[in-house]
Structure 1
């Protein structure tokens, strides 16, 4: 079976689509340079996705047929498969890009389902009659893109600002794909102005999507390498003022979206006892390693900050299931308790096992003062120091800290959401207000 391919081009049309091929090729070269420079998996995945986008545009516009007239059979099969394959990779990448597995169950399931539909449905299009094969392939790709567009907008409502850019890229890609498939399905060529419009919007959609992928990859690299500006000078996480502002904004969004999340506090106990052995430089190295381990597990979409010297906080604005609290709490606690090699005062390296604890409180639509939330999270972390796992959750009914591995979380947010705070937790000894400890001097507003 040889699917229908676009009619032959005029010389002007060949010049138009050759220029588009060159412009998209330049985007690919930049992505290739970024992949070699950063050497990260995300950068190589971005390169592979952009290469598939280039193939989609080229195969659907019909330029390869002009350059290889005797290859209509293999080019026709490639034309059928490239759209669903590119869509499947796009929805899979969007799931990672949006951290759907952490933030939203509907987002995770929808993107996984669309990926599987395209992976399975693409080859099945080859079994259809020639007049239905390419329309079915187009339907798969466009349906997948529509779902990614919807979930990108949903992610913006959950506090992910970069998702606006991804949504814009999808919004541009939608008419571009419709135009390209229309060009491939039409027995006659579109008018030159219409083809130029399709070419322009296709180019803009790829450039916009590439920019958003690059920005997210850059954000992740900055967090890993500690290159971000405007943050805590040692750990490169957000400072206390910024974290307070982010929590305030997240609470406002929560009243509108009615989504559940969590606030995590990580405490390092008695760091002053380490100073005679490793000095301030070694202690700073411990803080840096702690910051990197925290971000490795919580991801780039969940803001993390250094609230004061020995306290880190992470805002988990949305979580798809209460059980993820247990998983994440145990992972972070286990990672931070592993020994760290730091510089000693006398030279050389010394292995230190940090004395840490993790405290987690549930965030719901019930309004809470930010100072109260931070106080509760730190108090729960203080209580977790006496627990085996070093990770605790604030029980909403008893108002006590319980180990996360023993917490009754269930599969839904119903119990946690309906629980209302009764009495404030007692602050840690020697610190009547944990939100103002150490070098913290600002007002949480």
Structure 2
């Protein structure tokens, strides 16, 4: 087997890669501190991925072999495997970060495929002839990263603005990864300037990726945002105006991307009865708990807002399957119906059970008036109160509310759209509209009965 560490490191190169090891170790240490502070699954994944990045950089640079020459045979074997394993962890983490299982079937399948290929292909590279082991390992790692880069850009086109940061991290990682494999594969070491460039780009890519992982984790944990003018002061969800604007923007993107999604509304019934028991402070506790449960199930990539006092909205811009409508709405309805512990007017802790309804409306790839969408989704939430599951959707054939567990959603978005009657309007079969979004032969959809926040 060819010794990939044949070239000896100069003192300057050892200083360079030792400094790189320290800088990357600092990033891993900060991520570990975030894990101790937050104790979330996302933080665990971030620490694991950043640690593997640090390990891959160190092994491919040749620093451990320069320090411990006697361990070179073992280090060569680990060097072949570490790149694909790091790439597999990255693509799996990207699938979670992008919520691929909710928003896009192609994204989910591609990320799971490249993750499986790297997990299986990494150890199989050891079975190849010695001179082909590292090139095969490099092909797996670079191919995996290229797919993640492509899907990150795709996610930005589906409305995930933070995915631009992940795409930038992948774009910076590509030259760093190729440079590190160049160091490991070639018999003669690259010039010191080239090694410094590879080390700098590698450090920058890890820092950018770590920042994006931290930002998404912070968003998921519902920390207070800097721009409170766009947030409901109680729940810290989006208020009505920015939420409606997000729906309008999503409809514009939908016309370009031709993707299907959904709009969800959650209504809390008889808030006055609850307030008589728990008072205004107790009602705020209820609203906060409901908001946390909603985002726990819908995810950070789906904007959630408080449309008015007892109405919440969730924009699910993309979904990989129409059957996910049923799964998600039933999960949300089941979670929100669980008892909530709050403090009563006498400052004692009591348990109340919210009376809620969840309505969901399919948003097709063709445009639809936002006022009509809001009217329909709130009507579905009101109708859900009389249903056992407390979750309802608009049936595309009968144009009536139907419990989601009994809805015929079909196996594809095309099948669901084909179920719309010929007399309906674009996308959902709602009545033909005249100017201003008013249904033909009807009246303008009623305004909410409560003042939007």
The TM-score range, normalised by the shorter chain, is over 0.9
> Who is 2:414 aligned against?
414
> Who is 1:439 aligned against?
451
Q: Does 1:338 align with 2:338?
A: yes
> Who is 1:80 aligned against?
80
Give the 3-state SS of the residue equivalent to 1:318 in structure 2.
Answer: coil
> Who is 2:431 aligned against?
423
Q: Does 1:370 align with 2:370?
A: yes
Give the 3-state SS of the residue equivalent to 1:436 in structure 2.
Answer: coil
Structure 1 residue 334: deviation in Å?
0.7
Question: Aligned equivalents of 1:14 and 1:407: distance in 2?
Answer: 65
> Who is 2:201 aligned against?
201
Map 1:299-378 → 2, pairs under 5 A: 299-378=299-378
Give the 3-state SS of the residue equivalent to 2:377 in structure 1.
Answer: helix
> Who is 2:441 aligned against?
none
Q: Does 1:274 align with 2:235?
A: no
> Who is 2:175 aligned against?
175
Map 1:16-415 → 2, pairs under 5 A: 16-221=16-221, 223=222, 229-230=227-228, 231-415=231-415
Give the 3-state SS of the residue equivalent to 2:386 in structure 1.
Answer: coil
Structure 1 residue 396: deviation in Å?
2.0
Question: Aligned equivalents of 2:187 and 2:241: distance in 1?
Answer: 62
Structure 1 residue 347: deviation in Å?
2.5
Give the 3-state SS of the residue equivalent to 1:23 in structure 2.
Answer: helix
Question: Aligned equivalents of 2:99 and 2:259: distance in 1?
Answer: 16
The answer as to whether partners of 1:2 and 1:72 remain within 8 angstroms in 2 is no
User: 1:93/1:244 Cα in 2 relative to 1: closer, same or farther (>3 Å)?
Assistant: same
Give the 3-state SS of the residue equivalent to 2:50 in structure 1.
Answer: helix
Question: Aligned equivalents of 1:402 and 1:66: distance in 2?
Answer: 69
User: 1:3/1:373 Cα in 2 relative to 1: closer, same or farther (>3 Å)?
Assistant: farther
Question: Aligned equivalents of 1:44 and 1:6: distance in 2?
Answer: 37
Gaps of 5+ in 1: 427-431
Structure 1 window deviating more from structure 2 (363-372 vs 111-120): it is: 363-372
The answer as to whether partners of 1:399 and 1:423 remain within 8 angstroms in 2 is no
User: 1:245/1:185 Cα in 2 relative to 1: closer, same or farther (>3 Å)?
Assistant: same
Structure 1 window deviating more from structure 2 (29-38 vs 203-212): it is: 29-38
The answer as to whether partners of 1:60 and 1:181 remain within 8 angstroms in 2 is yes
The answer as to whether partners of 1:376 and 1:424 remain within 8 angstroms in 2 is no
User: 1:3/1:48 Cα in 2 relative to 1: closer, same or farther (>3 Å)?
Assistant: farther
Give the 3-state SS of the residue equivalent to 2:28 in structure 1.
Answer: helix
Question: Aligned equivalents of 2:201 and 2:130: distance in 1?
Answer: 28
Question: Aligned equivalents of 1:434 and 1:297: distance in 2?
Answer: 29
Gaps of 5+ in 2: 439-443
> Who is 1:429 aligned against?
none
Structure 1 residue 284: deviation in Å?
1.4
Deviations 1:322-341 (A, max 9, x none): 00000001000111111111
Structure 1 window deviating more from structure 2 (257-266 vs 337-346): it is: 337-346
Deviations 1:132-160 (A, max 9, x none): 11111111111110110010000000000
Question: Aligned equivalents of 2:105 and 2:184: distance in 1?
Answer: 37
Question: Aligned equivalents of 2:446 and 2:263: distance in 1?
Answer: 15
Structure 1 residue 212: deviation in Å?
0.8
Give the 3-state SS of the residue equivalent to 1:361 in structure 2.
Answer: strand
Number of residue pairs the alignment of both structures matches: 435
The answer as to whether partners of 2:8 and 2:66 remain within 8 angstroms in 1 is yes
Deviations 1:299-331 (A, max 9, x none): 000000000001000000000000000000100
Question: Aligned equivalents of 1:292 and 1:237: distance in 2?
Answer: 9
Question: Aligned equivalents of 2:128 and 2:279: distance in 1?
Answer: 71
Structure 1 residue 82: deviation in Å?
0.6
Question: Aligned equivalents of 2:93 and 2:393: distance in 1?
Answer: 32
Give the 3-state SS of the residue equivalent to 1:188 in structure 2.
Answer: coil
Structure 1 residue 439: deviation in Å?
2.1
